[in-house]
Structure 1
Amino acid sequence: MVPKTVIPTREQLVDRAAELVPLLQRHARWAEENRRLHEEVVEALSDAGIFKLRRPKRYGGYEADARTLVDVAAELARGDGSASWVASVYWIPGWMACMFPDAVQDEVFATPDTRVCGTLSPSAMAAPAEGGVTVTGKWQFISGAHHADWQEIIAILVPQEGDPYPIMALVPMSDLLVVDDWQTSGLKGTGSVSTVARDLFIPQERVLPLPAVLQGQTASKKNAESAIYRVPLLPTAAASSVGPVLGLARAAGEAFLKRLPGRKITYTAYENQREAPITHLQVADAAQKIDQAEFHAHRLATLVDTKAVEGSDWKIEERARARADLGTVVRLAREAADILATASGGSSIYLDVPIQRISRDVQAVNLHALMHPNTNAELYGRVLCGLEPNTLYI
């Protein structure tokens, strides 16, 4: 029996995240060089309760709402985008684990601080087997795999009769081969390695049809009355992952202004960059874009939280707008970071100057398939034009 958990308020959780910023900043370069989070960072995130935000209360979790996820992740990203990204990734597969039968959840959440990594990409094949399925395949971009206990996987099941369809399953990390192939230009500290399964048997109780999960259907009886577990997967994932890029944009602004005093604009008459009109325009433009990004991030979170509490059906336009808001935040964050990086001068390319890392991390987020601004904008416009969405991921 888990003792009754004292649930921190949003403000308390955001404060905890803010207190971690100096530690995250201190280890950010180590994380880049070693392509994974420092153990001290993982331990600090755990101690602050960051990994409990989407864990059910009956297992000692907080069942935090989407607005809390946005604000906590944004604070963490002020310290290190990779640390914030890994936390947000754990929140999504951790929430997906709560769609499984209660007995499966008892197994997954048997340890006090279970971490679940995962993917939405169906890059493996599954075949029926007695009592379950066997899976063979490889999954890339598995952020936080080095520090996870379980992985949520997606595979295409080819049944003996009927058409193939995607399934979602839970697998202990000990059942998977981890391939250390994370050699990238951005979000290097996330340790987003690949994992491999070879004729891996997964019992039926740890397998769900992905289309049902995408529509918000759950096999859990105990989570049925909890607001955060009755939202469709994609709006949930969008609200869970938007905070890191918002925080990176804020970090870009803070990093630029910290270096501004005393800097000059080389080969010009400006001995103080702070006095140049071009600097005023750049800072104002970036700040406005960050403000706009915050609006869209909070609008997305409000939509998810409101629908969750109401328990009402989601209109297709609302689902598409959730992804559009995510894409808009990502685009605005990139534009703000680009302005500030351009204004930072040649000395900013040194690895001990944070703006170069922030800029690369923001660019990496922009390339993510589910966060890409153009992809999300096209989907939203398609729905607004009265057409059916051309993807299951909505």
Structure 2
Amino acid sequence: MTTTATAVDTVLRQVEKIVPTLRDNGEASETRRWILDENIDLLDKAGVFRIATPRRFGGLDLSLADQARVLTEIARGCGSTGWVSMVWVSNAWVATLYPDQAQEEVFAQDSVRISGGFTPSGTLTPTEGGYLLNGSWRFNTGCRGAHWNIAAALLEKPDGTVEDLVALVPMDQFTIADDWNTSSAAATGSSTTTAKDVFVPAHRVIGFEDAVLNTTPGRAHAGKTGRDYGLFSFVMAECAATFIGIARGALELFLDRVPGRPITYTSWTDQVQHPLTQIQVAAAANRISAAEGLAEGWLRQLQARADAGEQPTVEEKATVRGQAAYAIQLAKEAVETLYNASGASAIQRSVPIQRFHRDSQGLALHALLLLSTNLETHGRVLLGLDPDTPLL
């Protein structure tokens, strides 16, 4: 049987080989407003879309730390491709929060791609055997290449109260709008998806609270796999891994580009020799290393809890949110420093570092990743207060 160590090494070797292609395809993907099919095919052949599939369904069943390593390597080649891969992989893990019957349907193919998110911008209406789903969901990254879609929606109860539910639906049951025209993350194809009177069987609808607390009934393997990490801790960890990859890619691009470049309007004929450049590249490299150091801590903690069959504590979840957002900020700052040191010619679309810069700036605006919001949550818990958010 293939060991997990062998599996991740095999996937990483294959991804490392295609990093140059992902990078070369960046401009064309951005123009298309959706990553090239070649990128998806290469990642599929590398086994990327099997890394979160449980072993019992024929998947590679990698740990969170190993999934993070793979996503970092993809993002080193292309930020948008890394972000799309992160969404597909993280949502494949989210599918394991559903009852076994739903998992058997989703993982009928072991290389599965799942888009969607947790903004409840739709409604579910009870009907015989399940629900009717209606609504539209914006910023649906990866919807154009997904097999399944996760759609958060509200169920109105007879007493007028509402319950947050999360439906798992084949992607071909949604329509996709051509409305993704952005200045960053342009190749993610994060268009609006719409469902109209789509029937969802009851076993493919779970409560938001059950997803967060890992308490969904009907799962024979819950708490026994070493892969139950806590929903938002898992998502934050994978987002941070993607940002670290983007920063690693920008550093690599800068180091390849800077030797022998003169500093215009000065007597410096090689930018490498200028002390400011030396300080800038060292500062960027250390920010990336600091982000990686933070990641090692939360990955170790989350795995220890999962191996023990326990959910992270509220304090641990708040720490992951605060530290992951801080790591993302460090990675973003590293890219910004390198971009600012790259000279005016870096604004050309043919120069990849400008795309890494724009992608990191835009993706960092994601509401779940905002530094201020996450530090507030982390700080409240450090001060002994309630976190004041269900997103833990």
Q: TM-score range by the shorter chain?
A: over 0.9
Query: Letter of the aligned partner of 2:132 in structure 1?
Result: T
Query: Letter of the aligned partner of 2:313 in structure 1?
Result: K
Is contact 1:128-1:159 (8 Å) kept? no
Separation of aligned partners in 1, 2:97 and 2:233: 15
Aligned residues: 391
Is contact 2:236-2:321 (8 Å) kept? yes
What does 1:116-135 correspond to in 2, within 5 Å? 116-135=114-133
Separation of aligned partners in 2, 1:281 and 1:120: 41
Superposed CA deviations along residues 235-255 of structure 1, whole A, max 9, x for unmatched, are 111122221100111111111
Matched residue, 2:280? 282
Is contact 1:128-1:158 (8 Å) kept? no
Superposed CA deviations along residues 127-174 of structure 1, whole A, max 9, x for unmatched, are 222222222211111111111111011001112236211101111111
Is contact 1:14-1:68 (8 Å) kept? no
Is contact 1:348-1:356 (8 Å) kept? yes
Separation of aligned partners in 1, 2:286 and 2:294: 13
Matched residue, 2:82? 84
What does 1:251-266 correspond to in 2, within 5 Å? 251-266=249-264
The answer to whether 1:291 aligns with 2:276 is no
Is contact 1:70-1:301 (8 Å) kept? no
The answer to whether 1:236 aligns with 2:242 is no
Aligned partner of residue 199 in structure 2, secondary structure: strand
Superposed CA deviations along residues 201-247 of structure 1, whole A, max 9, x for unmatched, are 21211111111110122334343254344222111111222211001
Aligned partner of residue 67 in structure 2, secondary structure: helix
Separation of aligned partners in 1, 2:224 and 2:352: 40
- TM-score normalised by the chain length of structure 1: 0.95
**Residues 240, 227 of structure 1: alpha-carbon distance in 2 compared, 3 angstrom cutoff:** farther
Matched residue, 1:196? 194
Separation of aligned partners in 1, 2:309 and 2:205: 25
Is contact 2:147-2:170 (8 Å) kept? yes
What does 1:241-252 correspond to in 2, within 5 Å? 241-252=239-250
The answer to whether 1:105 aligns with 2:103 is yes
What does 1:1-394 correspond to in 2, within 5 Å? 7=4, 8-161=6-159, 163-394=161-392
Unaligned runs of 5+ in 1: none
State which drifts further: 119-128 or 202-211: 119-128
Query: Letter of the aligned partner of 1:335 in structure 2?
Result: E
Runs of 4+ in structure 1 deviating by more than 4 angstroms, as ranges, are 4-7
Aligned partner of residue 153 in structure 1, secondary structure: strand
Aligned Cα root-mean-square deviation (Å): 1.6
- Tell me how far 1:313 sits from its aligned partner: 4.0
Separation of aligned partners in 1, 2:339 and 2:155: 46
- Tell me how far 1:386 sits from its aligned partner: 1.2
State which drifts further: 195-204 or 74-83: 195-204
Is contact 1:334-1:362 (8 Å) kept? yes
Separation of aligned partners in 2, 1:361 and 1:114: 25
Is contact 1:286-1:340 (8 Å) kept? yes
Separation of aligned partners in 1, 2:217 and 2:188: 31
Separation of aligned partners in 1, 2:65 and 2:228: 16
Query: Letter of the aligned partner of 2:363 in structure 1?
Result: V
Aligned partner of residue 98 in structure 1, secondary structure: helix
Is contact 1:55-1:61 (8 Å) kept? yes
Separation of aligned partners in 2, 1:301 and 1:148: 27
Superposed CA deviations along residues 309-361 of structure 1, whole A, max 9, x for unmatched, are 12234221100011112101110011111111111010000011111000001
Query: Letter of the aligned partner of 2:246 in structure 1?
Result: L
Separation of aligned partners in 1, 2:285 and 2:149: 38
Is contact 2:226-2:308 (8 Å) kept? no
Aligned partner of residue 370 in structure 1, secondary structure: helix
State which drifts further: 288-297 or 105-114: 105-114
Is contact 1:187-1:360 (8 Å) kept? yes
Is contact 2:64-2:227 (8 Å) kept? no
Separation of aligned partners in 1, 2:152 and 2:131: 12
Unaligned runs of 5+ in 2: none
Aligned partner of residue 198 in structure 1, secondary structure: strand
Separation of aligned partners in 2, 1:220 and 1:352: 51
Is contact 1:85-1:190 (8 Å) kept? yes
Separation of aligned partners in 1, 2:323 and 2:12: 22
Aligned partner of residue 229 in structure 2, secondary structure: coil
Is contact 2:100-2:218 (8 Å) kept? yes
